[in-house]
Structure 1
Amino acid sequence: MAKATPRHTDPPFPTPPDPPEPPDSPNPMAEDNQRFQSFKEALIDKENALNQIYEVPKEHTNMEEESEVNNDTITLTEDEKRRLYQPWCLSVIIKVFGKRLTHAYLKSKLADTWKLIEPLTLIDLGWDYHIVKLSQVQSMHKILHEGQWFVVGNFLLIKRWEPNFVPQQSTLTRTAIWAKLPQLPTKFYDKNILENVGQRLGALLKIDTCTSATLRG
């Protein structure tokens, strides 16, 4: 009697399900077209944004209109004017004609020419105008009445300081000059005669001491 090992039978292998159908393959041309259209639309939107008319908000417009109506004017009292003007009342305004000089050079030349008893303070106003700020009446009198002054051969305009002086709007209407009378006979070196000559030229300010005393021709 033969002994046999029973034969082992494997279970049947399950059949896998059918794979799903792949989705439609993407169309690269369609994507590029969509991307191009988006970029074009962005450009159009940007152009429209740049070309649009800018409108000021109403609140800003109202503020500007109110500002123009009110004019934002600050009114000074007489006490404030006196306080503001007092430090400048002895000052003079100058301008060099025909030549533009640096601030340091002009200040040095004026100090050498005038030889004042106080330090010279020179302030640039623009348009070739300067303020010489003074604190001594003697200094102001010397500058105004003991010239005609020249700086490196150029005439120096001098006028008393005035409030609200605007260099750009300033116009020259008068200036102080020396009038020479060459070969005037000495018999006419008379105060009354010289005053009459001066009055014919303008408002007489001063007669040269040597001329009035007949010390020099």
Structure 2
Amino acid sequence: MEADSESNEEVEDIREGFASISLSKETKQHIRAPWAKALIIKVFGKTVGYNYLYSKFLGLWKPSGRVDMVDLGRDFFLLRFSILEDLEMVLKKGPWFIREHFMSIRRWEANFKPSEALVSSAIVWVRLNKLPIEYYDATLLRQIGQVLRKILRVDMHMAMEAKGRYACLCIQVDMSRPLSTIVRIGQCSQPIVYEGVNKLCFSCG
């Protein structure tokens, strides 16, 4: 998307009977700017009505600002946030479910067509239970997350409770690939717990 927005020219073979216009870099930036704080969402395994889904979103996320929703067709919905912090909260605090059905969430992208869209990634939380104390380092935890997948956020919990210490990593996983269950950190083998993905099939989505 970034490379496309920098281009001033669009080269395309036009067949007879087709018309074409070229979009300048400025035009692209102008028409795409209103959607910079938007997400594309799809609920798996269930067709959900517009009004029901919109009320569920407001109840789940309790946004501070305004949220507008557009039905894109084929069970895809676009949500545009007025406040960036609301959008980032949705991205980083998942995964989200509607009546046990997983919600795929992605940032809005230019030229998105529901009829051609493939959902191949999901945002999930990974828990590292009872991680040895010396590994509670923000830089090291980010390295662990990058080994697993694309990392979005790191949370460290040090409270000495019945559950013990743990660290949480928010990562974006590829739904077409098997998940790692153990990560090797030096000489330490650390089990990985994925929150919520027991409800999601990584063979068919």
Displacement after TM superposition at 1:146 (Å): 2.6
Of Structure 1 and Structure 2, the greater strand share is in 2
Question: 1:118-145 CA distances to partner (integer Å, 9 max, x unpaired)?
Answer: 2321111111111001222222222222
For residue 128 of structure 2, give the secondary structure of its aligned residue in structure 1. Answer: coil
- 5+ residue gaps in structure 2? 1-13, 160-164, 167-205
The equivalent residue for 1:195 is 142
Equivalent residue number for residue 170 of structure 1: 117
Alpha-carbon deviations, 1:189-215, whole Å to 9, x = none?
44344334322211121112xxx1413
Q: Residue in 2 aligned with 1:142?
A: 89
C-alpha contact (below 8 Å) 2:39/2:80 kept by paired residues = yes
Are the aligned partners of 2:68 and 2:80 in contact in 1 as well (CA < 8 Å)?
yes
Aligned residues: 148
TM-score (norm 2): 0.63
Q: Is 1:71 matched up with 2:18? A: yes
3-state SS, counterpart of residue 59 of structure 2: helix
The answer to whether the 8 Å contact 1:107/1:120 transfers is: no
**Fraction of identical pairs, as percent:** 32
- 1:99 and 2:43 matched: no
2:105 pairs, out of 135, 155, 158, with 158
Which one has the largest radius of gyration?
1
Q: Would the aligned equivalents of 1:110 and 1:151 in 2 still touch at CA under 8 Å?
A: no
3-state SS of the aligned residue for 2:32? Answer: helix
| 2:158 matches 1:214 | yes
SS at match of 2:127: coil
Query: What is the CA–CA distance in structure 2 between the aligned matches of 1:91 and 1:158, rounded to whole Å?
Result: 10
Q: Which residue of 2 aligns with 1:37?
A: none
Q: Which amino acid aligns with 1:168?
A: S
Query: 2:196 — aligned with what?
Result: none
Tell me the CA shift for residue 105 of structure 1. Answer: 0.7
Normalized per residue, the structure richer in helix is 1
Whole-Å separation in 1 of the counterparts to 2:62 and 2:141: 29
Secondary structure at 1:204's aligned position in 2?
Answer: strand
Out of 123, 127, 132, the position equivalent to 2:70 is 123
Shift of 1:76: 2.1
Residue identity opposite 2:27 in structure 1: E
Asked if structure 1 preserves the Cα contact closer than 8 Å seen for 2:66 and 2:82, the reply is no
